[in-house]
Structures are given as structure tokens and as C-alpha cells.
Structure 1
Amino acid sequence: MSLLDKPVQEPQSAPGPLRRNRDFLLLWTGAGISLLGLRASVAAYPMLMIFYESSPAGAGMVAFAALLPQLVVQLPAGALIDRWDRRRLLIVCDLAGLLAMAAVAGSLAAGRLWLPLVMAAAFVDGTAGLFYRLAERAAVSHVVHPAHLSSALGQNEARGQAAGLIGQPAGAALFSFGRWMPFAFTAVTHLVALGTLLLIRKPLQGERTTPTGSLRTEVADGVRWVWRQRFMRTAVGLIAGSNLLFQVLALTLALIVKEDGGSEMTVGLIFLVAGLGGVAGALAGSRAAGRARPAVVLAGSLTVWAALMLPVALTSDPYLLGSLLAGMSFAGALMNVVAGVHQVRITPEPMQGRVTSVFALLGSGMASAGALAGGGLLAAFGTQRTALGAAVAMGLLALVAVTAPALRDPAGQVRMPRSEEI
């Protein structure tokens, strides 16, 4: 058996409680703090350009620079994570983010704003964050016992949801005290995350062999591996389609609120409630991953999304909209954990970065397409028809999930080992 065919090695010793796993807690905490800082700076970029420079065009350019790594860096990042030492890579990511944010904070504190500097810093910090997330995801299985993998990934998903909830208002609040403060805060979070990394004792990767092919060849190997997995290939296609529809729904919901006389604050509160649903779903996901088959969870989530999308076309009540979105977020976060556990378990260790990057690229790419499609659909058909169309399309995805042979194949529905109590 070649190294690429070997799954992640599973130690045989009995695990202690996950809450006492020092290295996991350090990795989890550092990555969470770093992600919180990234969310705060991303929230501050448009305010900086609009309120300080009065430049909507500049805000768009900075947003483009921050999102560009998702499209151009994702696949090569996955291959490089499988080549490079993960601990050193995570350290370099924190150092790069620290220097980029310190440069912006220092420039603003001195009373200067240079658009190329902000764009470059946004790109560097976004690239560092992308590498960090992929490397940390691949490293988790090396700091936790296999029996704790579901719980660990569930906590990671909950942490991501919470960082999104806290980071956006934190960035806005810090900006109100000083334009430089969100970026200084992000620099400090990178420094704290760097400190936690240096304290981790366990290796963050398995045995490595010297790369023999080009970077392009290794990226292609990752794409081919995903394509050969019938279950994962079908599942990622369905999830990518759902991401497109959710972007359409997000734009539709915001327009519904505006047409009903609501404000940006109303939209923010709706998404806050949705985020709380996501946190709850992530915490439930670790238990679901130990009991449910991935195909059942996927089909169930798509069905729930279709059922909850339909009433969005029929109401403008913000409380009901928030409740509907919270239900969708609960199902989505739960599915993310179950799918993540399944992917980590079946992916050979030397390909963890590449496989994760393929899934991430498809998800982010379809989200971008969804934002573009949503604007055109709303302009052409209005909110009600667009919401109904999104619900019908999600229902068709659910039907595919129920009937697709690849998802009904027992080989693609491996039941996860039951998680230990945290």
C-alpha cells in the first residue's frame, strides 16, 4: 500500500477528555482569536473607505483584494500545505497577518491612508487566513484522538460561527473609537495566536515524502482524487449549488426588509439570530457525526432548507425571517461538521490540504456566482418570485440527494465511530 492510500493513523491508547487536551485547546484558541481579528478587519474595510475617504469605489477595490485569495490562492495553497511543515506555515501566516495589519494601523494612526497599502494588506491578511484555515483543518486529526475528531471539528465550526457573530460588531465598535483600532486589534490577535502555536508540543502532520511532481501536478492529483470519490463528488456538487442559492436568498432577504421599511439594523439582527442558530447546529454536529450517515444528513439538510426557504417568499416579518434563517443555519452548521468529519477520515494524510482546498474553492466560487445571479434575478423578477425560485431549486437539490445512486451507495455512507463525551 502506498503512502497516498493510507488513511490517517489512529493511535490505540484510550483518550482523555477533549477539554483536557492541551494542544487542541491551544490550536483551537489561537485559530479562533486569529479568525476573530480577521472578521473585525474585514468589517472595518468598507467603513474605512466610505466614512474616511468617501470612496465607495475604493471600498469595492479593498473588498475585491480581500476576497481575491479565495479564487486565485485556494488550490495552490492546498498543495503547498501538503508539502510544507504545517507548524512553520501557521507561524508564517500569523507573522504575515501581524505585519500587514500593523502597517495599516500605523499609517492610519499617523493620519495617512494609502489605498494601495490597504489593498495589499487586505490581500496578504486574506491569503494568510486562507492558508491558516486549511492548515489547521488538516492538523486537527494530529492533536486529537480519533474518537474526539467529531467533537473537535464541531467545536471548530461553532468557533467560526461565533467569530462571525462577534467580529463584525467588534470591528464597527472599534472603528468608532479610532479608525486605526480594528487593524491594531487584528495585529494583536495574530500575536496572541502566534504565542499559542509556539506552545503546541504535538506534531501537526504525519510522515512526509519529498515531492516528486510539480505544484500543478499535485493540485491536479487532489482534484482527481475528489472526482474519483462518487459520494464526495456528488455531495460537493450539491453543497456548491446550495451555496449559490443561499447567496441569492441573502440578497432577497435584505431587499424584503428594505421594501417593508426596515433598516440595516433589522437585517443585522436577522443575521445575528441566524448566527446563533449556526452555533447551536455546530455544537449538535459533533453528536450527529457519531450517529448519522453523511448521506442522510445531507439529504435532510437540503430538505429542511427547501422547506424553510418557501415561507421567506410569503412574509416580511423580521422575527419570522430570523427564525427561518436560524433554522437553515442550524442545519447548515450541523451538516458542515458531519461532512468535515467524513472528509478528514476518508482523505489520505498527504492529501488533506489539497482535498480541503478543492471543496473550499467550489463553495466560495459558487457563493460569488450566487451574489451575481441574485442581483440579476431580483432586478428581473422581484423578491417574491426570486425567493420562490430559490426554494424550488433547493427542493430539486434535495430530490437529487434522496435519489442519487452515489449517495445511496453504502460505501459512501460510512457510519462514523461514536464520539466520546467532552
Structure 2
Amino acid sequence: MTTQTVAPPVQAPVEPLRRNRDFLMLWIGAGVSMLGLRAGTVAYPLLVVWQGGSPVAAGLVGFAAVLPQLLVQLPAGVAVDRWDRRRVLVTCDLVGLLAMASVAAMVLHGGLWLPLLMAAAFAEGSAALVYRLAERAAVRNLVAPEQLSAALGQNEARGQAAGLVGGPAGSGLFTLAGWLPFGFAALAHLVALGTLLLIRKELQETRTPEPRRVRTEVAQGLAWVWQQRFMRAAVVLIAGSNLLFQVLALALVLVVKQHGGSPLTIGLIGMASGVGGVAGALAGPRCMRRVPMSVLICGTLVAWALLVLPVAFTSAPVLLGALFSGMSFAGALVNVVAGVHQVQVTPDALQGRVTSVFALAGSGMNSAGALAGGLLLAALGTRTTVLGVAAAMAVMAVAAVLAPAVRSGGAAA
């Protein structure tokens, strides 16, 4: 008797991300759209103040721009999971295009109508929020599973770079002409719309249509996160760290001002922080392959505690820039690690809702952190407040090390 050896099937080589046309179209379009959003957001208060508006009016526009983070987040997750993601992305770009074009037209005609500016800021903020959720959910349908960490790492680096460049671009364009930042943002949406139409693959798995209610679908996303021990712990850590960093950001402004610094100094420190964020995002995929996720998360919290502590004792811009760059490096790295895990373990039909739960935890604590920061700095002073932030971060690090859910690194999922 003779036996035949059956050779295993030969798998086709995975195409590098740089040659993955569909991923590149989505990556470029989302990056351009994000750059336009940052430029327009920076220009809102400049437009109000330079057109003779009051600080209260500028605050109202800023409030309208961030309000979607609290009101739209969970329904946006439902929309991303319920509807065709390509159509969702196209709709978001169209809404952003119309909102920014309307502001540019208003400024070109020499007027400033506060209700229109607030409505445009709210519409643009809502569209950007839904766009981010839909794009993140779509990525794993465009790349091979082994490329997911690299793809999300590039997305995180792109976001950090957009923040780094978008602010100066918005203020620079505004100095040339008041309508330019908003015209640039409208053009960015048009470019992003074009890239979406060039994507060939489907951006979600096949779904079975069924009648559903928004409240029920939101509850499904919340319940799924609650059932995952590691996810529950991650939500708490994200919320706590976001609150503390909002306090620290306000403390930095006071540190610089109290020691004779200028807004330019804060801008330069912010640029150094952005460079650290880009580097951390690019390092994320490599670190994931070599270091367990639980070690990365706990190590990030320890690093934050150690980097926050010196802020209480220095006003040197170079040192502050280095410290905040280190914090951003660690933050971007852990964003990639947590993001890859979340996308990998979450069913495709729940991607939008689960991501929206994490985003809501972060944005909600941003608002609370800004309020808490003002009260703490007024009552305790800068140094004591910063020391308190460092101590709270250290407590979170110890809690993470001791928590079985964090130590497991989500292995059960």
C-alpha cells in the first residue's frame, strides 16, 4: 500500500499596507478630513473675536463644537452598526462640506451670524464623530488580521500628526483671510469624499436586516462591554486618565503664565507633545509583538505618574516639552494597543456601539476634568494640584497591577 502526502494549501502572500489601495484611500481621505476639522476648530474662536464678538459668544461656539461628544456618541455607534458604512462615511463628508462651506460663505459676505456658526460647529462636530467611529469599524474589513495592529497604529499616528499640523494651519490661514480655514475644511471633505468613492471592498460584514430600536441597540453595546471584564477595567482607566490629563493641561497654562511665558510657549510644548504622540503611535505595533498587553497598560500608568511629578517643580519650557512628549508617547502607544484589542475581540456588528462607549467615557471625563481642574487650581494652587494628579495616577497604576482583569490582558475574550 502506498500513501500520498497531501501538501498544505499555499496561502497567498499578504499585500503590504502601502500597496493596499482600499486601505490607503480610506487612510488618506480620513487624514485630510481630520486635518480640515482641526484647522476649522482652531479658527472658530479667532473668527468670533476678530469679528468683534464677545468671549461669551466664542465660548458658545466652542460649546456647540464639543456638545456632540456627549449627545451624539451612543446614537452614532448605533448608526455605524445599523447602516451601510460607506454611505455613513459619504453622508458625514457631505454634512461637513455643507457646514464649512456655509461658514466660509458667511465670512466672505462680511457677516457673523452666531446661530449659523453654532449650528455649523455642531453639525461638523457630529459628522466628524460619526466618521471616526465608522472608519475605525471599517478598517478590519480592508486589511489582513495580522496587519490590524499596523493599520490602527498608522491611524493613530495620522491623528496625532493632524493635531500637530492642523492648529498652526488653521491660525495661519486665518491670518491670510478669515474664510480660508473653513474653505480649506470644505475642500478637505470634498477630497475625502472622492477617496471613499474609489474604495472597492465592502466596509462591513453581511448583515441580516431586522427591525430594531435605538434604545435597544445602545443597551446591547453597553451590555457587551459590561460582560467583558477587561473592557470594564479599560473604560475605568480611560475615564480616570482623561480626567487627570484635563486637569494637567489647565495646570500647564498657569505654570507657563506664572513664570512669564507666552501662548507661543504653550504652542511649542504642544508641538513637542504631538511629536511624541506620533512616535508612540508608530511604535505601538512593534511593542505589541514583544510585550504583553497587561505590561504595556500598567507600564503606561507608571510612566505617566513618573512624568507628571516633575511638572510640579519646573517651569523650563524645554523640560516641560520633553515631559509632555513622553506622556503623549505612552498615551498614543497604549491607544494603539487598546484599540487593536477592542477591534479584534468585538463582533463586526457591534463595532460602532462598543467604540462609542469608550469614546463617551473619554469625552465625558474631559468635560468633568476641565471643571475639576479649575476648582482644584483655584483652591489648592498649581504645585499641589499637579502633585495630586501624579498621586492619583500612581494609585491608578497600583490598582491596574492588582486587578486580575487587567493582568489577564483580555485573554479570556
**TM-score, with length taken from structure 1:** 0.94
Is 1:201 aligned to 2:191, yes or no? no
Q: Which moved more, 1:51-60 or 1:241-250?
A: 51-60
Counterpart of 2:381, as a letter, is: G
Is 1:106 aligned to 2:97, yes or no? no
Structure 2 distance, partners of 1:17, 1:101, is: 36
Contact 1:301 1:331 in 2 (8 A): yes
Contact 1:281 1:331 in 2 (8 A): yes
In the other structure, the counterpart of 1:82 is 81
Counterpart of 2:260, as a letter, is: G
In the other structure, the counterpart of 1:331 is 330
Is 1:246 aligned to 2:245, yes or no? yes
In the other structure, the counterpart of 1:6 is none
Alignment of 1:302-381 (within 5 A): 302-381=301-380
Contact 1:295 1:407 in 2 (8 A): yes
**Unaligned regions of 5+ residues in structure 2, if any?**
1-10
Structure 1 distance, partners of 2:363, 2:291, is: 27
1:211 Cα deviation from its structure 2 partner: 3.3
Structure 2 distance, partners of 1:17, 1:134, is: 24
Counterpart of 1:405, as a letter, is: P
Query: Cα deviations across residues 282-309 of structure 1 (Å, max 9, x unaligned)?
Result: 0001212233322211101000000000
User: Aligned-pair RMSD on alpha carbons?
Assistant: 1.1
Contact 2:78 2:353 in 1 (8 A): yes
Structure 2 distance, partners of 1:227, 1:156, is: 27
Q: Which moved more, 1:105-114 or 1:206-215?
A: 206-215
1:190 Cα deviation from its structure 2 partner: 0.2
Counterpart of 2:325, as a letter, is: A
Query: Cα deviations across residues 261-287 of structure 1 (Å, max 9, x unaligned)?
Result: 000000110111011000000000121
1:53 Cα deviation from its structure 2 partner: 2.3
SS of alignment partner, residue 64 of structure 1: helix
In the other structure, the counterpart of 2:30 is 31
1:80 Cα deviation from its structure 2 partner: 1.1
In the other structure, the counterpart of 2:165 is 166
Counterpart of 1:42, as a letter, is: T
Counterpart of 1:310, as a letter, is: L
Counterpart of 1:215, as a letter, is: V
Distance of aligned partners of 1:87 and 1:317 in 2 relative to their CA distance in 1, 3 Å threshold: same
Contact 1:294 1:414 in 2 (8 A): no
Is 1:295 aligned to 2:291, yes or no? no
SS of alignment partner, residue 183 of structure 2: helix
1:30 Cα deviation from its structure 2 partner: 0.1
Distance of aligned partners of 1:131 and 1:257 in 2 relative to their CA distance in 1, 3 Å threshold: same
Structure 1 distance, partners of 2:12, 2:86, is: 24
Contact 1:226 1:355 in 2 (8 A): yes
1:14 Cα deviation from its structure 2 partner: 3.1
Contact 1:240 1:362 in 2 (8 A): yes
Alignment of 1:19-168 (within 5 A): 19-168=18-167
1:50 Cα deviation from its structure 2 partner: 1.0
In the other structure, the counterpart of 1:419 is none
1:107 Cα deviation from its structure 2 partner: 1.1
In the other structure, the counterpart of 1:226 is 225
Q: Which moved more, 1:211-220 or 1:85-94?
A: 211-220
Contact 1:294 1:413 in 2 (8 A): no
Contact 1:150 1:290 in 2 (8 A): no
1:146 Cα deviation from its structure 2 partner: 0.7
**TM-score, with length taken from structure 2:** 0.96
Query: Cα deviations across residues 30-67 of structure 1 (Å, max 9, x unaligned)?
Result: 00000000000000000011111231111001001100
SS of alignment partner, residue 14 of structure 2: coil
SS of alignment partner, residue 381 of structure 2: helix
Contact 1:289 1:341 in 2 (8 A): no
Contact 2:294 2:408 in 1 (8 A): no
Counterpart of 1:103, as a letter, is: S
Structure 1 distance, partners of 2:28, 2:282, is: 16
SS of alignment partner, residue 308 of structure 1: helix
Structure 2 distance, partners of 1:59, 1:177, is: 20
Counterpart of 2:186, as a letter, is: A
Q: Report % sequence identity.
A: 65
1:339 Cα deviation from its structure 2 partner: 0.4
Counterpart of 2:236, as a letter, is: G
Structure 1 distance, partners of 2:117, 2:285, is: 39
Structure 2 distance, partners of 1:53, 1:352, is: 44
Query: Cα deviations across residues 183-221 of structure 1 (Å, max 9, x unaligned)?
Result: 000000000000000000010000112133311000011
Structure 2 distance, partners of 1:304, 1:74, is: 30
1:132 Cα deviation from its structure 2 partner: 0.3
SS of alignment partner, residue 67 of structure 2: helix
1:13 Cα deviation from its structure 2 partner: 4.4
Counterpart of 1:367, as a letter, is: N
In the other structure, the counterpart of 1:211 is 210
Runs of 4+ off more than 3 Å: none
Contact 1:141 1:149 in 2 (8 A): yes
Structure showing greater radius of gyration is 2
Contact 1:106 1:180 in 2 (8 A): yes
Structure 2 distance, partners of 1:289, 1:139, is: 21
Is 1:280 aligned to 2:309, yes or no? no
